[in-house]
Amino acid sequence: MKKFFIFTFLLIYLDKAYAHCPLCTVGAVAAAGGAAWLGLSQIVIGLFIGAFAISLGLWSSRYLKKKYVPIQNFLIALFLFLTIVLPVLPLMKELYPFYINISGDYGSLLNRTYIINSFLGGGIIGGIIVFLSPFVSMKIMKLRNNKLIPYQGVLITLLLLIIAGVIFQLTL
């Protein structure tokens, strides 16, 4: 109960909102803080917040009827991703080593250990899952002779995110 009051006190006295709206900032911080409070890994928290950000960006991009640049929808989604995920980064400091071994000795240009922020890595993966899930949905629809399962797009997106979240939580 003490953690709840401390968490609520911090949310009430936040003096700046750096995302596209204060409600989204508080919502993202509350979701991340609540999930962290429940003991979920920061990569899982990032996975769902990154998915939310890209989903919101792709949904919002449909409101502009005129195309100003060729990749306008992607740029809007990227902007919303950055304005939702980056302000939360200072609160999520869990780092994860990522070793890449392509060829040669350790320390060569291609073989190094990189340190990534777990939250940011999860956010990027969550965004990629949301971005690619419509293509997976279309493939499944073609395999089923152009028949849709009710709420197929939402189900596939949530299922892929949950599978990724469980894998990350259990392995990292």
The one-digit pLDDT tens for each residue of the chain (172 residues) are 555 555 555 445 444 433 334 454 455 556 566 677 778 898 999 998 998 898 888 888 878 888 888 888 889 999 999 998 998 888 888 898 888 777 767 767 777 788 999 999 999 999 999 889 888 988 988 988 888 888 888 888 888 888 998 899 898 7
Question: Which residues on neighbouring strands pair with residue 113, listed in sequence order?
Answer: 99
Domain that residue 106 falls in: 2-171
When divided into structural domains, the chain yields a total of 1
SS3 114: strand
N- to C-terminal Cα distance for the chain? 28
**Rounded distance, CA 104 to CA 167, Å?**
30
pTM to 2 decimal places = 0.75
